[in-house]
Amino acid sequence: MKKDNNNLINFISKNAKIGRNVKIWHFSYIGNNTEIGDNVSIGSLVHIDYDVKIGENTRIEGSVYIPPLTRVGKNVFIGPCVTFTNDPYPMSPKMVGVTVEDGAIIGGRAVFKAGVSVGKNSVIAMGAVVTKDVPPNVVVMGHPATIRYSREEYETKREKWNS
């Protein structure tokens, strides 16, 4: 538990493993047996439950929910209000996490069905509802999320936007 001027700001489990140079903003929760790599940024009001693994150089924006058994790779961006799930048939005693591979970008308010995997360097559009595995190097969007174009096309669009 971290305190500032005697006010509770964050809860961080005593057995969570937090890497070097991790920044955790206000009112966040980090559960038991969670591992967070170096240089990770965690926004306000983020709930990272128990048995979660997050790779280095990952950025998690505010109000994100990451349930038990979720695996997030290195160099991942998770936008605000993203929700991962881990119970495909609530209230089942059996849970399965979501896997997000290295270099993925997840837009705000995306929602993930328990057990899905997001391939390396894929992009999940804001508000997407991901119900199936996402292959590497693609952009998905919609309800349910479907492939719309390649990561290469995404980078071309981003470069054009930035110029």
Domains of the chain, by residue range, sit at: 2-162
Statement: 2-162 belongs to CATH 3.30.413.10: no
pLDDT in tens, 87-140: 988 899 999 999 999 999 999 999 999 999 999 999 999 999 999 999 999 999
* Euclidean distance between CA atoms 92 and 107, whole angstroms: 28
> In 20-151, where do the E strands start and end?
23-24, 29-30, 35-36, 41-42, 47-48, 53-54, 59-60, 65-66, 71-72, 77-78, 83-84, 99-100, 105-106, 111-112, 117-118, 123-124, 129-130, 138-141, 146-150
pLDDT at 3: 43
pLDDT at 9: 82
pLDDT at 44: 95
pTM of the model: 0.93
In which band, very low, low, confident or very high, does the pLDDT at 63 lie, cut at 50, 70 and 90? very high
